[in-house]
Amino acid sequence: MAVEEMVTMNLVGALKDENKLLRQIILMGNVHLQTDISNIYENYFALNLLEESLARDNHPGEEQTDPNNNNDFNDLFQKAKYIAQALEVDSDAVFSSVDENIDYSQCKSKVCELYHEIYPIYEAILQKQEKIEEYKAYKESIKYISDSEIDFNQLNQLNFFKYKIGLLSHENKMKIIKNIENMTAIIYDIGTRDDLEVFFIIYPQGYETETERILKSLNFKEIIIPEALHGTAAEMKEQIEKVLHQESIELEILFQKINKIKEEYQDIIRQVFVELKIIMKIESIKEKIIRKNNAFILSGWVPKSQMDEIKNKLSTVSDNFKISFKDVEEIGLDVLPPTKLKNPKLFKPFESLVKMYGIPNYYELDPTAFLSISYLVMFGSMFGDVGQGLIFILFGLFLQKKNMASFFGQLLTRLGVSSMFFGVLYGSIFGNEELIPWGIKNIFGETSFLSKIVINPMEHINLILLLAIGLGIIFILISFIFGIINALKVHDIKEGLFGRNGVSGLIFYIGLLLLVGDIAFGISVIPKVVIIILMIIAMLLIVIREPLANKILNKSHLYEDEVSAYYVESGFNIIETILSLASNTISFIRVGAFSLNHVGLFLAFKTMAQMAHGGISGFIILIIGNIVVIGLEGLIVFIQGLRLQYYELFGKYFKGEGIEFNPVKL
């Protein structure tokens, strides 16, 4: 339930082993490269390490083949993609273990060998498929004139006339009939197909342009008769069937050949593709590193827990490197490390909801655990029903099993459990609010603890609304504490101690709650005078937070801007703080309102079912009601829960301006 601790990694390696070391870094998948390399190298890198590396003589041995020295690398990659497409091999598949013995030369040799074997077969397949599609299109066109006895051989021998066959809508048919005297053409209606009229039109060659213009204005859809076909429509259809049959046989033979190659080489192709992608990734990494003479320098961020693992794995591919790590404390707050969230499995799906708002700053508390618990409580209390919660669980498990939106499936299962828990408290199962209370009373007795805690929201409206506000107060108080901790972690005493979301704001909010409790409910914990004095002090501290913080920090100036402008802004800030705290608290009344709405909406469907006098009609109405409630209200409650998190709670402690840990990997 925290942000994983990071350290900087600075690596100097021999240039001749650059590809080996970078390859291993990619395969490890736990190094986040620094983009602002100049700052890192100027301030935190041991220069004597670089000098030692540059002065060291290279050990004799064969150097790796560098794809940059091969102008045909892009061509090779395209050939590999062509092979993967031909064999229908997933080119995005990445093996968990990569063959350490394969290198660029072997990749090139194997790709070229397979390309020359596959190319003629696959090209023949493409040509056959294209021809089959072409003749299927011919078959589709011929069906419109299948009953015609026109001999197209004779038509094609005409010297002074041309013809067209095509389709017109019924509306345009009437237009062409009305204007037939204006056309220098003979027009025959030769049938009706798919609510369209089929026309045969013959006209002199000299009137071709005029005829085409008229037909175009009528949205005439011409039926193309291919030159390869001849005779009547029936004879053409027979010719098409023969071609399709022959081409299908030949295509099946070609597929058998390609499948045999696939069965033999698909694993090798995947491995080659992985290696080529590694090479391409290596070339992209080289743009972010420094080279000089015989050495290269690389800097990045790695999880502190994986330092030894990284060092040991790099040692397996090269001895010609030196590596150093620095803790964040040694670097200072000026450099922001990337954020890698580390949460238990229970809270993991809720990281996606956090990231929708922003990535936590490395120095911030990870809000995932708090969001998970508070969101589950809010969702369940707004959507409490045992049966409908079970539907959420089953649908979530289905999504996980099918690997469809996996994180959302995991989220749904947890929300479903919360919904079922509150459903027991509300005594609701698929909208029925009598069955659970009846069962509990009969099993545990009417005076049992379980019988007493099961409450119907519609019978305890005031209690539900007050509990919702009380829940909101608890969440807001926790948010204040998180905000204070986050500010003090980065030594921001201005906001941490004196800000509206800091200690002063917390004191003011507690005072406001105590004052309301005393006035509205007669609950007196501290004398009103003391409360008012504390609130006034808290407000004054919020107003003078900037000069006070600057004085404590011994800064040369007390104010960043003009004094008058600062105090005008601070005055409005106090008003905004009061309104914000009040609205934040009252906003949580919607938790109670939606729990009542949930009951009320289904009550409407129950009433309709009763009006239908029960039976099958009433049962169908209840099913429709559950579907509407689960789909529509479930979505609304999901969004409302997020709104309360993002606007009422996150604004007090979470900025979300961090950089996500993004290691280089395949």
Give 355-394 pLDDT, tens digit per residue: 999 999 998 999 999 999 999 999 999 999 999 999 999 9
Question: 222 and 307: one domain?
Answer: no
Dihedral (C-alpha) 163, 167, 172, 174: value to the nearest 10 degrees?
Answer: 70
Q: What pLDDT does residue 302 have? A: 93
Question: 215 and 299: one domain?
Answer: no
Question: 503 and 578: one domain?
Answer: yes
Task: Report residue 518 as tokens.
Answer: 């005393």
Q: What pLDDT does residue 59 have? A: 46
Count of domains for the chain: 3
Q: What pLDDT does residue 666 have? A: 77
Q: Which domain holds residue 541?
A: 492-587
In a domain, 284, yes or no: no
Question: 509 and 583: one domain?
Answer: yes
Looking at residue 118, its amino acid is I
Helices 503-521, 528-543: crossing angle, 10 deg rounding: 150
Q: What pLDDT does residue 63 have? A: 44
CATH of residue 214's domain is 3.30.70.2750
Q: Is the pLDDT of residue 30 over 70?
A: yes
Question: 233 and 306: one domain?
Answer: no
Angstrom distance (rounded) from CA 544 to CA 494: 10
Q: Is the pLDDT of residue 43 over 70?
A: no
Question: 147 and 237: one domain?
Answer: yes
Question: 228 and 308: one domain?
Answer: no
In a domain, 66, yes or no: no
Question: 306 and 237: one domain?
Answer: no
In a domain, 517, yes or no: yes
pLDDT tens for each residue of 425-475: 998 898 888 888 888 888 877 777 777 788 888 888 999 999 999 999 999
For 117, residues 6+ apart whose C-beta sits below 8 A from its C-beta are 261
In a domain, 237, yes or no: yes
Looking at residue 610, its amino acid is Q
Angstrom distance (rounded) from CA 660 to CA 361: 9
Q: What pLDDT does residue 440 have? A: 82
In a domain, 575, yes or no: yes
pLDDT tens for each residue of 197-242: 888 888 888 888 888 888 888 888 888 777 777 777 788 888 888 9
Question: 212 and 151: one domain?
Answer: yes
CB burial of 55-84 (b: ≥16 within 10 Å; e: otherwise) equals eeeeeeeeeebebeeeeebeebbebbebbb
- Tell me the pTM: 0.75
Task: Report residue 408 as tokens.
Answer: 């959302």
Q: What pLDDT does residue 585 have? A: 92
Q: What pLDDT does residue 421 have? A: 94
In a domain, 592, yes or no: no
Average pLDDT of the residues in 1-13:
85
SS3 call for 429: strand
Q: What pLDDT does residue 146 have? A: 66
Domain boundary among 538, 553, 587: 587
In a domain, 11, yes or no: yes
CATH of residue 39's domain is 3.30.70.240
Looking at residue 36, its amino acid is D
Angstrom distance (rounded) from CA 177 to CA 214: 12
SS3 call for 223: coil
- The average confidence (pLDDT) of the chain is 84
pLDDT tens for each residue of 165-187: 888 887 887 877 777 777 788 88
Count Cα atoms within 13 angstroms, Cβ side, for 218: 27
Domain boundary among 318, 338, 358: 338
Q: Which of 482, 480, 496 is nearest to 548 (CA)?
A: 496
H or E element that contains 302: strand 295-303
Q: What pLDDT does residue 468 have? A: 93
Q: Is the pLDDT of residue 103 over 90?
A: no
In a domain, 397, yes or no: no
Domain boundary among 555, 587, 619: 587
Contact 184, 174 (CB under 8 A): no
Question: 234 and 302: one domain?
Answer: no
